[in-house]
Structure formats: C-alpha cells, structure tokens
A and B are shown apart, each in its own frame.
Chain A
Amino acid sequence: MSKSNLTRRGVLKTGAIGGAGLALPTMFASRANAYTNEPTGSTVTLGFNVPQTGPYADEGADELRAYELAVKHLNGEGDGGMINTFSSKALKGNGILGKKVEYVTGDTQTKSDAARASARSMIEKDGAVMITGGSSSGVAVAVQALCQEAGVIFMAGLTHSNDTTGKDKRANGFRHFFNSYMSGAALAPVLEANYGSDRKAYHLTADYNWGYTTEEAIRSSTEAMGWETVAAVKTPLTQTDFSSYIAPVLQSGADVLVLNHYGGNMVNSLTNAVQFGLREAQANGKNFEIVVPLYSRLMARGAGDAVKGIFGSTNWHWSLQDEASQTFVRSFGTEYGFPPSQAAHTCYVQALLYADAVERAGSFEPCAVVEALEGFEFDGLGNGPTLYRAEDHQCFKDVLVVRGKENPTSEFDLLEIVEITPVDQVTYPPDHPQFAGGALGSCNNGA
C-alpha cells in the first residue's frame, strides 16, 4: 500500500503551475495571432488596390489621389478635409488608434486575377490590415472574397453591380457606392416626368455581370411605370464600334435607347448613337431619347459633346453645395488643381469610414470593425444622412440623377444635377429578388 503525499498546498501549487503551463501557448498564440496583420508597431498599413494600368487607369489615379489625401488627413496633415464635417468625432488626426497611417498600393489592372494577386501580396508581404479600392464589380467581388478568406476588411471602391452586396456579399466587405437597383429606382421617376410613361425602350447591355444587373434594374423600374422593353441586346465587352448594334434601333419601333455600358463601352456606344442621328430622330411621334444609367465624369469627358442632355445617375458630384462636399472639393482641388471624381469621393469616404470604425471599436480586429460599421448611421461625408445596413453591408443614401450639361463652363463641368432622389425611394428589402442568393456569412478575423 502506497502512501499518498497529497497536501492542499501541493495541489494548489501543482494546479497553478500546470494551469499556467497549459494556458501559456494559448496566451502567446492569442497575442501573436489575434487576427491577420495585427499592427504591433507605431504604424498601421492600409492597402490601396486600384487600377494603375489598363482602361480605367485614369479613374484609378483619381482613387489613389483621394486615398493619399485621406491618409494625410488621418495623420493630421493638411486641412483635415471631411474629418471636420463627419458626424462621428472619433477621428482626431493622430492616425488610427494613435498609429501613423502608412499605405501600399497594388494594381488591379481591372482584371480579377491580377487584382486578387495584388491584394494577396499586400496582405501577405506588406501586412495590410485593410484592402480598399477598385473600379469594377468583377474586381470588387473577387477581392472581397479573397479578403473574407484572409481575414481582413475590404472597403469596396467604385462597384455598381447589385451582386457586390447581393449574391456575392461577404461579412468582411463593405460598399459605400450605390448600385444598379438604386440607379433604376432613382432614374425612373425622372424619366417618366421628362419622357412620359408611354415609351418603348431598346437596351444595349455590356455582356458581363454589371451589365446584366443594370439592365435588370432599369427594365424593372421602367416597366413598372409603363414603359415597354422592345429588345435587349448583349454587346461584347471588347466591342469598340457599336454601329452595327445602334443602326437597327430606329427600325425596331423603340423610342428610347438605354445604354447599359460603362467606361470605354459607354464612350463608344454613346458617341456612335449620337453620330447615327438618334438624338435628332423621331420615333412613334416622339423625340428619340438616350439614357445612360451610370454616369462618370471621367467617361463623360471621353464622350465629349455626345453627353449633352442625356440623363443618368451618379453617386456624388463635385457641384453639390452641402458643406461636406464643398469641404472635400476645396481640399482635393487645392491639393491637385481640379475637382474630384465620384470614384475619388467614394474611396476617400471609405478610408475615413474604416478609420472611424476602428477608433470606435478600439481595435483593428476585423470582427470588431464589422460590428462598428454594421448599422452605423452617419452624416457629413457628402451624401447626406447615410446608413451602413447591417444585413448586406450596403450604404443607403440619396442618389443623384444627372444630365449632360448643354453649356459646360470647363472640362470638369460636364454634368448637372437634376434631382437628388431621397434615400427612401431607393431603399429595398435585403431579400429583394435582384439581390437574392448568397449569404453574408460571419466575419473572419483570419490568422
């Protein structure tokens, strides 16, 4: 029979040592790998993934200018920009959580695989804790999925497809930019007021994801007010001359042409349509009209005089007179000598929103940032009162309906705001059919 040496003190001592021993690896692990790229020094690195080459390089350059300005303002340099007008007062101009903001850039080339590669490099090699930017929905969806897997936050740049916050939404991804549904909902009443409810529309649609969702959105909004869709023809993304698609439009019985095109496609199809005399033509006893659902000032510049009098929608425009917009225009204009584009605006705002969410959360941890952004209501960033809806991570705010200006006073003064459509008119339920499928899932801290 053996004698046990167990004493109360011995058990406590052994238990404490054993417990500490067991806890030690987890403690270290949680400190070292709490989440992907946890900033440990005096700086934090953000990754700006924008098209620096390829067809949207000019738009990408404007996005980068906006990010650089945002970094300046976050670090307390310059005039502070919209930090001064932002309703949240968490940002102090001392970096983010006291860490100086640094950044790395990647080139999306407006190709999904290149964009993923550059985002991956910024996350894995440069230690970026957040990725933001881009000028295409294909890129946004691809990079958003990558960021979800990697456990970093993705603040989308210019992406207008319903799918970004619809069937392809992700918990780690957030979109400030508006979407195809909102364009349709905002445009329809203006089109009805100007062109009536008895119209026959002919759609030319870029043959890719964004084109489909935009056509669907515009069709359902215009058909709901009585318009008939005569035909919808898909055009290859690589198409440069649209004459063979434009020429049959007048013979189809249509009296409105909707160009679901963006970028170079929009510039060329609109130019072709105007050259083929569609603006002067008459059909069904009415003036023939053209509609461009998504306008961009940079694209409008490419199309030149062809944009005059043509309706479209946009996320933001530098001619807005609210204090926040004017502050941003002054800040950007003083720095670069020309007014910012809508792409620049949305990117600047996304950078500020992320920084603010981190400050409010008190941590860079992605799930804490997601929690801070979900359901966040804010103002003072140029779009009026805005909600980051928790269910799909889409911003809900007023939408601008614009028209190509007849007498521009400068090369930037190409669009005039016709109507600011209130947010209520462009809000939809999270389970709306145009956004069906896919799930937000749960946030991923990575590591």
Chain B
Amino acid sequence: MDAIILQILNGLDKGSAYALIALGLTLIFGTLGVVNFAHGALFMIGAFCAVLLSRILSMSYTTIDETRTDFLGNPMQVNVPYAYDFFGEAAGQTIIEWAVPLAILFAIPIMILIGVAMERGLIKHFYKRPHADQILVTFGLAIVLQEIIKYYFGANPIPTPAPPAFTGSFDFGALLGFDANQILYPYWRLVYFIFAAIIIGAVFAFLQFTTFGMVVRAGMADRETVGLLGINIDKRFTIMFGLAAAVAGLAGVMYGPIYSPNYHMGMDFLVLSFVVVVVGGMGSLPGAVAAGFLLGILESFASMREVINIIPGINQIIIYLVAIIILLARPRGLMGRKGVMED
C-alpha cells in the first residue's frame, strides 16, 4: 500500500511537468493550428532563466585572500557577491538562495517576449503550410535554441538548488499512519505539484472567465466566424502563443531543483509531451492535463521493481503502450473533439 501511495506521489510531480508542457502545446495547436516542436525548448529556456537569474544575483567582484592559495599556489582569489554589499551578507545570501522562486517573476516577461518573437518572426509564416513543414521548422528552431544555450552555458547540467527552506523531504507515511521513513517525499516536489495546479487553474480561469479568453475559445472553435465579427483574432492568438511560452517556461523554472538544467532537457520532455497531447485528445486542454497526470503516474508504476520483474522492459515502453491502447479504444484520445486534425 505504501509503495502504491509513493508511486502515485511520484507520478504527480512528473505528471505536473508533462501536463504543463502539454497544456502549452495544446493551447498553440488549438489556437494557431501549429504543431510546435520547439515547445520543449521553451521549457528548457525557462529552466535557464532560473540559472541566469541565479548567476545575475551571484555576480561578484574578486578580492585576494593572502592567507589561502589556489591550485597553482598563487594567493586565492575570492569572489564576493555584490548582493552582500547591497543587502548585507545574510540577506544577500538569502536572495541568492531564493533565485529559483524569484526567477518566476524574471521568466514571465522573458518567456512572453520569446514566445511573441517566435510567433511573429517565424511561425506565422508557416500557418498555411502543411503540418510536416511546421514540424520541420519548429524542430530546427528547437535545435538552434538548444545549441545557443549550450554555447553560453556549456553541456553539463547546472545545479539549481531549491531554497534551503524546501530542501529535505516530508514524511508522508507518518501523516497517513505508516511507519516512519516509509513514504518520504521531497518538499520541492510538493511545491512543484501545487505550483502546477495553480498555473493550470489560472490558465483555465483565464480562458473561461475573461472576455479575452472567451474570444480565444470562440476563435479555437471557429476562427473564420470570429474574424467576420470584426475581431482581430490573430493578435489574440499571438498573445496566446506568448502565454503558452510562459507556461512552458514557468514549468521549466520550477523544475530546476528537481532536474539540474541542461541544454537537452527540452528534447527529453518533448516527445513524451506530444504523446500526452495525442492521448489527451488534440486541442483538448482538460484532456492534456488529465493525460499528463495519467501517464506520469503510470510511468512511475512501471518503474517498480516488482512490475519490471513480471514484464521486463515495461518501464521503457509503458507510455507508448498505453497510448496505443487508448488510441485504439478512443481514436480521438481521451477528450478529443470531432473535426480537430481531421480532414
């Protein structure tokens, strides 16, 4: 029982990341009809926003410590962050340690800007082209973006720790009456799950309860008619692209302490996120979220030793196996609508 609870918890945080990325993908697909293979790169850029902010906050000047020597035997150069001078050592250190949560504010404008620039600068030229062309150009863009990141930040993962208040783990088992240490769950993963739930809720609320959202939903259903009503739907769709980029970026910012950011992390998530979108149903936002969590939890269960012992290799194929079964039973995915991606 405790093992099952543990794997459900594990699946929730993984599912949160899948759901957030798939949500953005579905928003773009639903509004613009574009299959955006560069969406994983937006997730990766989000994570690097946290890395960048951490580096900005840690910017320092060098002093010489005559009492110590470096590896060449020269007097040790010690880096003192400017933040220590501005805010005092204790407060400066706290600000540096809280770089990841602070990066949320830093990343939102950057990601919206990148999203809008991407849509206006490149993707809008491919609206009327076949999906294969869109996939090729966005995939190429993803490679360019990840190579740029690699050029500036290197190929190795960069540790981006959570604030000290959220390191360590929470004894979930004790709360549910199990023995101590049976169900440990890191605090930051709990934070990530709650954060994802808030973002998902906010996106749904925005689309459901604002006039802007209503127009966008109407545009998703029938773009032509909305246009005939004199509404500039293109402008709104561009903003939606920026919003989708921000959602992917925020998913990346907060994922840094779970998975040290590296230039390739977007690609690692991209394929799985596409499977999530297809399983959830092309163009269906609730479908993307539900499929994200479902596949995250199933992936966790398939990694259990007991399961692998029965079906070797199941951990590597579970997501695709489930996708095949769901698509055979429901060809439009869990919550897919008729007419989307269909001739």
Residues of A participating in the B interface, judged by any CB pair closer than 8 Å: 53-58, 231, 233-236, 238, 240-241, 243-245, 247-248, 250-252, 264, 267-268, 271-272, 275-277, 280-283, 298-299, 301-306, 318-319, 329-330, 333-334, 338-339, 409-410, 412-413
Query: In the complex, what distance in Å separates the CA atom of A235 from the CA atom of B302?
Result: 11
Q: How far is the CA of A282 from the CA of B180 in the complex (A)?
A: 10
In the complex, what residues of A have CB within 8 A of residue B72's CB?
329-330, 333-334
* Interface membership of B158, Cβ < 8 A: yes
B342 within 8 A of A: no
B232 at the interface (CB under 8 A from A): no
6 smallest beta-carbon distances between A and B, as pairs? A304-B159, A57-B155, A244-B303, A277-B169, A302-B157, A244-B300
A58-B154, A268-B259, A329-B72 known; A231 vs B305 contact (CB < 8 Å): yes
Complex Cα distance, B304 from A248, in Å, reads 7
Q: Besides the contacts A57-B150, A302-B156, what 11 more A-B pairs have beta carbons closer than 8 Å?
A: A56-B155, A58-B155, A233-B308, A241-B258, A243-B13, A244-B300, A248-B3, A302-B158, A303-B260, A304-B159, A305-B159
Given the known interface contacts A58-B154, A251-B3, A301-B156, the answer about A243 and B316 at a Cβ–Cβ threshold of 8 Å is no
Closest residue on chain A to residue B316 by CB atoms: A236
What separation, in Å, do the CA atoms of A240 and B72 have in the docked complex? 37
Residue of A252, A282, A298, A304 ringed by the most chain B CB atoms within 10 A: A304
Q: Do the beta carbons of A55 and B303 come within 8 Å of each other?
A: no
B289-332 near A? 1/0 per residue, CB < 8 Å: 00000000001110111001000000110000000000000000
Q: Complex formed: what's the CA distance from A305 to B189 in Å? A: 18
Contacts of A410 in B (CB 8 A): 70-71, 76
The minimal Cβ–Cβ distance linking A407 to chain B, given in whole angstroms, is 13
With A and B bound together, what is the CA distance between A277 and B173 in angstroms?
A: 13
Say whether B22 faces chain A, with CB atoms less than 8 Å apart: no
Interfacial chain A residues near B168, Cβ < 8 Å: 277, 280
Chain B contacts with A in 32-79, Cβ cutoff 8 A: 68, 70-72, 76
Query: Is there an interface contact between A303 and B159, defined as CB atoms closer than 8 Å?
Result: yes
Q: Is the CB of B71 within 8 A of A412?
A: yes
- A-B pairs with beta carbons under 8 Å apart, 19 shown: A54-B155, A57-B155, A236-B316, A240-B265, A240-B269, A243-B189, A244-B11, A247-B7, A247-B10, A248-B6, A248-B7, A268-B260, A276-B169, A303-B157, A305-B159, A318-B71, A329-B71, A329-B72, A413-B71
CB distance from B30 to the nearest CB of A (A): 27
Tell me the nearest residue of chain A to B168, going by C-beta.
A277
Known: A241-B258, A264-B157, A303-B159. A233 touches B181 (CB 8 A): no
Please measure, in the bound complex, the distance between the C-alpha atom of A338 and the C-alpha atom of B154, giving whole angstroms.
Answer: 16
Do A333 and B14 touch across chains, with their CB atoms under 8 A apart?
no
| A residues near B169, Cβ cutoff 8 Å | 275-277
Asked if A250 and B260 sit within 8 Å, CB to CB, the answer is no
Closest residue of chain B to A249, judged by CB? B305
Residue of B nearest to A247 (CB): B6
Contact status B264-A277, CB under 8 Å: no
Q: Mark B136-155, 1 if CB is under 8 A from A, else 0.
A: 00000000000000100011
Bound complex: CA of A318 vs CA of B72, how far in Å? 10
- Bound CA span A335–B30, Å: 54
Expressed in whole angstroms, the minimum distance between the Cβ of A234 and any Cβ of chain B is 8
A420 to B: closest C-beta gap in Å = 19
- The residue that B264 contacts in the complex, of A55, A241, A280, with Cβ under 8 A, is A55
B182 touches A243 (CB 8 A): no
Which residues of chain B have a CB within 8 Å of any CB of chain A?
Answer: 2-3, 6-7, 9-11, 13-14, 68, 70-72, 76, 150, 154-159, 161, 167-169, 181-182, 184-186, 188-189, 257-260, 262, 264-265, 268-269, 299-301, 303-305, 308, 315-316
| Most chain A CB within a 10 A radius of its CB, from B155, B159, B188, B264 | B155
Q: Are A409 and B76 in contact (CB under 8 A)?
A: yes
B134 to chain A, nearest CB (A): 25
* B305 contacts A248, C-beta separation under 8 Å: yes
- Chain A residues in 8 Å Cβ range of B268: 238, 240
B260 CB contact (under 8 Å) in A53, A244, A304: A304
Q: How far is the CB of A408 from chain B (nearest CB, A)?
A: 12
CA distance in complex: A94, B323 (Å): 64
Which of B159, B181, B259 is A241 in contact with, Cβ under 8 Å? B259
Best-surrounded residue of A243, A299, A318 (most CB of chain B within 10 A): A243
Q: Given the complex of chains A and B, what is the CA–CA distance between A248 and B184 in angstroms?
A: 10
Question: B70: which A residues are within 8 A, CB to CB?
Answer: 410
Which residues of B sit under 8 angstroms from A330, Cβ to Cβ? 72
Write the nearest CB–CB distance from B175 to chain A, whole angstroms: 15
Chain A residues within 8 Å of B265, by CB: 240
Which A residues are in CB contact (< 8 Å) with B258?
241, 272, 275
**B residues less than 8 Å from A53 (CB atoms):** 150, 155
CB atoms of A251 and B184 under 8 A apart:
no
Nearest B residue to A268, CB-CB: B259
Q: How far is the CA of A240 from the CA of B13 in the complex (A)?
A: 13
B58 shortest CB reach to chain A, Å: 12
Residues of chain B lying within 8 A (CB to CB) of residue A244 = 7, 10-11, 14, 299-301, 303-304
Kindly identify which residue among A55, A235, A243, A409 contacts B262, using a CB–CB cutoff of 8 Å. A55
Q: Which residues of A contact B6 (CB under 8 A)?
A: 247-248, 251
**A57 to B263 Cα, complex, angstroms:** 11
Verify B10–A304 contact, CB threshold 8 A.
Answer: no
Given contacts A244-B300, A268-B260, A334-B72, whether A302 and B159 have CB atoms under 8 Å apart is yes
Q: Which residue of chain A is the closest to B77 with respect to CB atoms? A: A410
Find the residue from B3, B7, B10, B68 having the highest chain A CB count within 10 A.
B10
B159 touches A271 (CB 8 A): yes
A3 to chain B, nearest CB (A): 87
List, in ascending order, chain B residues with CB within 8 A of A301's CB.
156, 159
Smallest CB gap from A271: residue in B: B260
Q: B188 touches which one: A240, A248, A275, A281 (CB < 8 A)?
A: A275
The interface centre, meaning the residue of B150, B169, B301, B308 with most chain A CB atoms within 10 A of its CB, is B169
Q: Which residues of A contact B10 (CB under 8 A)?
A: 243-244, 247
Given A243-B189, A268-B259, A305-B161: A281 and B14 interface contact (C-beta under 8 Å):
no
Do A276 and B2 touch across chains, with their CB atoms under 8 A apart? no
Give the docked Cα–Cα distance between A306 and B259 (Å): 12
